[in-house]
Amino acid sequence: MLAATLLSDDKSVIRNIPALKDMSTMLKILKNFGVRAQQDGGTVKVEPKGYSKYTAPYELVSTMRASICVLGPLLAKQKRAEVSFPGGCVIGPRPIDIHLKGLTALGAKIKVERGYLIADGRDLKGTHIYLGGHFGSSVLATDNVMMAATLAKGVTIIENAACEPEVADLAAFLVKMGAKIGGYGTTRIIVEGVKKLHGAEHTVIADRIEAGTYMLAAAITKGDLTLKNAKLEHMIAMVDKLRESGLDIKNVPNGIRVRYVKKLKPTDMTTLPYPGFATDMQAQFMSLMAVTDGISVITEKIYPERFIHISELNRMGANILLEGPCAIIKGVKSLSGAPVMASDLRASAALVLAGLVAKGRTDVHRIYHLDRGYENLEEKLIKLGAKVWREKEK
C-alpha cells in the first residue's frame, strides 16, 4: 500500500500500520524518491506530489524483499524505474521472474545492469496474463502487476492471481484511489486502466501471521488467549489444523478466542498458497508439534529450503528429521533452553515460542529478524505472563 501511493500526486493516509523495521525501510525508499512520508503512531501520511526520482538503491532494497513492489507503480506513474534486486530473509531462492513476466507482458522493457532492474514503462497496455510460477501464485507479483495495470491503457486480466487477504486489501485501497478492479480475492483479477488516480484513506486489515503466531503461543503454553480484531476466516487452514490437534478456537465479538482444553494430538501439515496453510506459519507450527506427543509430518511446498530452524530446535532437544521437503517430528516431553540463532523472520518467532516452554533460559540471537515482522513482541508476551526480555548483542 505504501508503494501504491506512488501512483498518485495526492496525499494518502494509511492506518493500522505497525512500527516495524520494514515499515521504516519502506518509508526511507519513498523519501528517496522525493516523497514526503511520515509515521505517527499507527498512521502513515504520504504526499507524493512533485516526486521525480525513480531509483531504489541497493542499500535500502537489499534489506527487504517487499521493496520490489515499487517497480510496478514507478513504471505506471514515472514511466521508468531503476530498482535494485531485492534482499530479505535467507529461506532459499525467491526469484522475481513472475514479476518480470507480468510487467513485460504489459509492455515494460526491462534489462539488468549493475545488479539493478532498468525498466521503461512508456507503453504499458492491458493484456491477458497468466502469473504462474514453480510453486503456484505470487502475492508480490500479483500486487506489482495489478498496480502497474491501474494506469495502463485498456483492460488487464490476471489469471492465477494470488488470493491472499493482503492482495484483496491492496485492491480495495486502489479502488478507493480511483482504480477500476474486479475479481480481487479470486484467481482472476480484472483491471481496467484509468488515466489518473487520486489519494485515499484506508485502514489495513489485521496481520494474520502475527495473529497466528500468538495463537500458537497460546497452544504451546496451554493458555487461553483472545486476539482482538483478528479474522478467523483469514487463517482457516491453520485453524483447521489446530482444531484437529485439539485446540479450542472460536469467534468472539471483535476477535478470536484460543483455548487449550485437552492434550494436543500430532497432525500432518502441508504449506500451500492461500487459502492453504501459510508458509509463514510453518516454523511456528513446527515448534508446537515438537512438544506434541506422537509423530507429525510437515511438508513445505512453497519454499522447500525453509527449514534452517530445524537444527536450532534440535539444539533445544527437539527430535526433528529432514527428508527432502518433509520434516518428520517426533514429539518430546520437554525442550531445554539453549543459545540459538535466528535465520529469518518466522524462524526467530518459532524459537521464541520454543523458549516459552523450554526448561531453563533460551537466548535467541540475531533478533533483528524478529523486528521486521513483530511490533513489541516481548512487551506483549510479558503482559501475557511470559518471562522474556531483550539484551544487546555482545
Task: Report, in angstroms and rounded to the nearest whole number, the Rg of the chain calculated over CA atoms.
Answer: 21
Instruction: Give the H or E element holding residue 109.
Output: strand 109-113
Instruction: Please provide the distance, in angstroms rounded to a whole number, between the alpha carbons at the two ends of the chain.
Output: 37
Query: Quick one: which of 320, 309, 317, 392 has its CA closest to 352?
Result: 309
Contacts of 113 (CB under 8 A, 6+ apart): none
The single residue listed with the C-alpha cell 480484531 is: 229
How would DSSP label each residue in 316-347?
A: TT-EEEEETTEEEEE--S--B--EEE--SHHH
Determine the Cα–Cα distance for residues 217 and 380; give it in Å rounded to an integer.
11
CB-hemisphere CA count at 13 Å for 162?
Answer: 27
* Cα distances (Å, whole numbers) of residue 310 to 342, 350, 357: 11, 10, 17
Which of 69, 89, 163, 326 does the annotation list as catalytic? Answer: 89
- 89 assigned to active site: yes
Determine the Cα–Cα distance for residues 145 and 203; give it in Å rounded to an integer.
22
The single residue listed with the C-alpha cell 504462474 is: 132
How would DSSP label each residue in 224-236?
A: EEEEET--GGGGH
Q: Which residues are catalytic?
A: 89
